[in-house]
Structure 1
Amino acid sequence: MQSSPEGTKLRRTISAPTLVILLSAIAGGWLLQEGADRSDNVYGRVRVLQEVMERVQSSFVDEVDQGSLYDSAIDGLIRELDDPHSSLIPASAYEDLRIRTEGEYGGVGLEVSHRGGHVTVVSPIPGGPSERIGIRSGDQFLGINGVVLDSMETDEAVGLLRGRPGTEVKISVLRPGITDPIEFTIERDVIRLR
């Protein structure tokens, strides 16, 4: 029995799309499995890190700061790159770096330092909001927004003074030669460093 040309053509027409679908399914399944293997590996490693963290938290004798441990793990990962141009900048230092590189921030326009046990104004930035309302060099901070500065570090005080331009900050200072504290309300502005 001879096959007709129409029958052969029909089988080829059906076979070509079926073959394409079959190959696509095989290739797609392989690619999905490769992707799953890779992501399982990443998620698996993250799971191991989390399990170690939970074990340390539950079994370690002393109290543990998880944030510090995670920061150390990230720092170790970056150090392992052995690249002198890669480093971890902690969130606490990032804002200072941004200000130094961009040259501006939202704040009250003061240079301060820790002197004689107090956060003290070194100098108001010329034209800044603090200079405009009369804050002077030598003024010692007693409080910022109701927070007493008895044992506060300079960086913490600076963090309270900075903020979104247009917002207000209330400060209390002790001025040399004046016995009573002086209260100021300062509207933060964009401070440009020169």
Structure 2
Amino acid sequence: MKRLLSLLLLGLCCLWTSAHADENTQERDIYRDLETFANVLTLIQQYYVDEINSSKVINGAINGMLGSLDPHSAYMTPEDFKDLEEETSGSFTGIGIEISIRDGVLTAVAPIEGTPADRQGIKSGDQIVRINGELTKTMTLMEAVKKLRGTKGTPVTITVHRQEWKEPKDFTMIREAIPLVSVKYTELEPGFAYVRVSNFQATTTRDLRNALKNVKKKHRIQGVVLDLRNNPGGLLDQAVKVTDVFLDKGVIVSTKGRNKEEQMVFEAHPDDGYTDFPMVVLVNGGSASGSEIVAGALQDHRRAVIMGTTTFGKGSVQTILPLPEGAGLRLTTAKYYTPSGDSIQATGIKPDIVVPLTTTPAPEAVSAPPAKTIREKDLPGHLENDKSGPKRSGGEAIEDGDQQEELQQMEDIRQITKRMEQDNQLRAAFATLKSLGRPSSQR
């Protein structure tokens, strides 16, 4: 084992030395640190009260190293890496909740719409203190994700603390296949479309274009409400392509990192024809990352009115780096900037029109203070905003298929009417959209 540690130490030092041969002081420092690490591991193996699993200990050290960087960098085991690929391709099995760690506590960023977590009323900012009775305080993010996911049809109980509650509450949910249908749409009125994008995955842009085409087949599009509330992000390229649907020129987003390959500028292309109607974009504290790219670009280009509450403020880009034997590294490699050159890291996108969501509180919460929304700036070790960046009907018979479609449309109308009654932000967005009128040209 000592020989293995020596070879490991030698290999790490050689790699570091080849990349930084001219930085002698740092070389000596990192050599000492690696030597200390090897000595500590040797002492643990020799003297710890129980026999240890060396791989587990080293993985713990790797997680600790990445955890000292920022809340979004993480080591992924082969199983974690596979789960990530499944998620971005369109589905996974679990309860449907985006999580992060704040002040050492597992915290909900946003539930995914239509999932068990959403139906049970889990909210952004809820602290998950136990999973199946096990304290989450010592869990890594990936460990918590693994415990929340599992076989379809099996139960999982989470213990949730919310600021306005006197004591934590248990929620038992049955794991489901979370399909992550990222685009849903309906018409608020003929020609006025409501499009909900719940996350950015491999098929999001295609599904968005199909939704707009279907609306356009029936009526000339007079306006769109794009709902990005509680959208935690996803694939960067899909967020860029979604924005491109509504812009015909200009910068969408730029990224800036230490390496030259991280210096990128993404621009719009005149190829979709969805730029001649007014838009309102709904956002809130659960809108993060990719949804902030979309909102920031549409706001800077004055293509849409942004409405709701300040977004999460996750202005960093994570790159997935494969490791041997199927493992992976999720590493923060850049920050992204809006077309005006602003970084929204830890600050978020501020709406043009602030409209807090109005809800009817539970009796126990009437006298309690409002729940605090968790944002990027609240996460320990979050990257600071450097304030700089690259500037810049006839009487015909109805066939069975048509009848089903008509019944579905009636159900959609019923659902949207019910939602409009309960959702003051959506009502405000629709009223604003109708007041905007049809612009003569894109500004």
- The TM-score, its normalising length taken from structure 2, stands at 0.25
Give the SS at the match of 2:173: strand
Q: CA deviation at 1:135?
A: 1.3
- Within the candidate set 169, 175, 182, 1:182 is matched to 169
Q: CA RMSD in A?
A: 3.0
Give the SS at the match of 1:151: coil
Do the aligned partners of 2:149 and 2:175 also contact (CA within 8 Å) in 1? Answer: yes
Aligned to 1:106: 93
Question: Which runs of no fewer than 5 residues in structure 1 stay unpaired?
Answer: 1-52, 69-88
Alignment of 1:93 with 2:80, yes or no, is yes
What is the rounded CA distance, in whole Å, between the counterparts of 1:90 and 1:181 in structure 2?
32
5 Å matches for 1:21-36? none
Amino acid corresponding to residue 82 of structure 2 in structure 1: E
5 Å matches for 1:73-92? 90-92=77-79
Aligned to 1:166: 153
Give the SS at the match of 1:186: strand
What is the rounded CA distance, in whole Å, between the counterparts of 1:110 and 1:180 in structure 2?
22
Aligned to 1:152: 139
Q: CA deviation at 1:114?
A: 0.8
Alignment of 1:132 with 2:132, yes or no, is no
What is the rounded CA distance, in whole Å, between the counterparts of 2:167 and 2:54 in structure 1?
44
- The TM-score, its normalising length taken from structure 1, stands at 0.54
What is the rounded CA distance, in whole Å, between the counterparts of 1:90 and 1:153 in structure 2?
12
Q: Kindly, what percent of the aligned residue pairs are identical?
A: 40
What is the rounded CA distance, in whole Å, between the counterparts of 2:148 and 2:95 in structure 1?
6
Aligned to 1:119: 106
What is the rounded CA distance, in whole Å, between the counterparts of 1:106 and 1:134 in structure 2?
19
- The structure whose residues are more often helix, as a share, is 1
Q: Structure 2 vs 1, CA of residues 171 and 65 (structure 1 numbering), >3 Å: closer, same or farther?
A: closer
What is the rounded CA distance, in whole Å, between the counterparts of 2:171 and 2:117 in structure 1?
9
Give the SS at the match of 1:173: strand
Q: CA deviation at 1:99?
A: 1.8
Give the SS at the match of 2:178: strand
Amino acid corresponding to residue 91 of structure 1 in structure 2: P
Larger of the two Rg values belongs to structure = 1
Give the SS at the match of 1:142: strand
Q: CA deviation at 1:91?
A: 1.7
Q: CA deviation at 1:133?
A: 1.4
Amino acid corresponding to residue 149 of structure 1 in structure 2: T
